[in-house]
Amino acid sequence: MSEIELRNLSKRWGSFVGVQDFNLTIADQEFLVLLGPSGCGKTTTMRMIAGLEDVTDGEILVDGKVINDLEPKDRDVSMVFQSYALYPNMNVYENIRFPLKVRKVPEAEHEERVMRASAMVELDDFLHRKPAELSGGQRQRVALARAIVREPNVFLMDEPLSNLDAKLRVSTRAQIKNLSHELKVTTIYVTHDQIEAMTLADRVVVMKGGIVQQVGSPTEIYDTPANAFVASFIGSPAMNLINGEVTKKAFSGDTISVSGLDLPDGPVTLGFRAEDAAIVEKGGQIQAPVYTMELLGDATMITVKVNGELVSVKAAKDYRAEIGDMVRISVPKEICHMFDAQTGARIG
């Protein structure tokens, strides 16, 4: 059992804030993903949990006990990094066994544990190879096996897939998800890739500038983003965001008018997702010339440009239009997300 609690966890270097007042309880066996752009504080948070970075303020508790002052080796966590950090002179077997030697696990247990860990990541046939004789995906699996062999209660993974090509990333992602489930460990996983976050996580924490923006299940974060930043960070393509003004329950911006909104008068940012809008023959809230058309296989993405703003809408896979053709886009109020124009906070 390993429940992790972060209480007002903060990291500062001088006056620079790396992480500020992070509060969260991560349940035993939960798969939690820290997501955000470069420099938002994901790695720093993870390194504090691993004990590789001192905590400036706040507490980290594991199963109710404060671990701030525990040495990294005394914390029951295994970390997998973006760079595999394998020992080039050791073969796969020795690399996987290394943590057992460091921790002075009785020799008699080594072989069985290495074999079990290597089987989990399907490396049984590669045990005698040196890292240089492996593909990138196989090397990352050695790094995973080396984390597994310790049988920790907590896995910390920092962008473990970022050195893999797109296809390998998808299969290794599935393997990580499966392993975490099978091993029944609490996993904290850092990524800047929203698709990785959405596919892996029980809950996602979206961070920006060291501050948590939203914590929720992938569905919650996608369906009800807490602010315009989260809305623009989750989903592919990014949510369409249009600045404008609400007057007498109607939004009007440079590109669009939507009526029947239950909001007070004032400046707001209106958002909607490409997949929620539709191209229509008549009516519609936006009329604009096609800027690009992209064939996605299962759909066609139409992007229009109105007064400098790009707005995307997903159409049927056999929909075709030429650049410059006028299209009408339906944006009913039901699909609209409304954000405060100044703070970005969700208001409807």
**CB closer to ligand ATP out of 40 and 242:** 40
**Considering the complex, what minimum distance in angstroms separates the CB of residue 126 from ligand ATP?**
29
Residue 48 near residue 31 (C-beta atoms within 8 A) = no
Identify any residues that bridge with 189 across adjacent strands, giving them in sequence order: 33, 157
**Considering the complex, what minimum distance in angstroms separates the CB of residue 55 from ligand ATP?**
14
**CB closer to ligand ATP out of 41 and 235:** 41
**Considering the complex, what minimum distance in angstroms separates the CB of residue 157 from ligand ATP?**
12
What Å distances lie between residue 24 and 34, 60, 79, 163, 216, CA to CA? 12, 10, 20, 29, 11
**Considering the complex, what minimum distance in angstroms separates the CB of residue 16 from ligand ATP?**
6
H/E element, 182: helix 166-183
* Contacts of residue 334, Cβ cutoff 8 Å, sequence gap at least 6: none
Measured at CB, which residue is nearest to ligand ATP? 43
**CB closer to ligand ATP out of 39 and 348:** 39
**CB closer to ligand ATP out of 49 and 121:** 49
**Considering the complex, what minimum distance in angstroms separates the CB of residue 196 from ligand ATP?**
12
Q: Which residues of this chain interact with ligand ATP, rule CB under 6 A?
A: 13, 16, 18, 36, 38-44, 192
CA distance 187 to 78: 10
**CB closer to ligand ATP out of 209 and 332:** 209
3-class secondary structure, 236: coil
**CB closer to ligand ATP out of 7 and 192:** 192
**Considering the complex, what minimum distance in angstroms separates the CB of residue 18 from ligand ATP?**
4
**Considering the complex, what minimum distance in angstroms separates the CB of residue 235 from ligand ATP?**
19
Identify any residues that bridge with 326 across adjacent strands, giving them in sequence order: 289
Query: Among residues 195, 167, 201, which one has the least CA distance to residue 181?
Result: 201
Tokens of 244: 């404008």
**CB closer to ligand ATP out of 43 and 285:** 43
**DSSP letter string, 55-95:** -SEEEEEETTEE-TTS-GGGSSEEEE-SS----TTS-HHHH
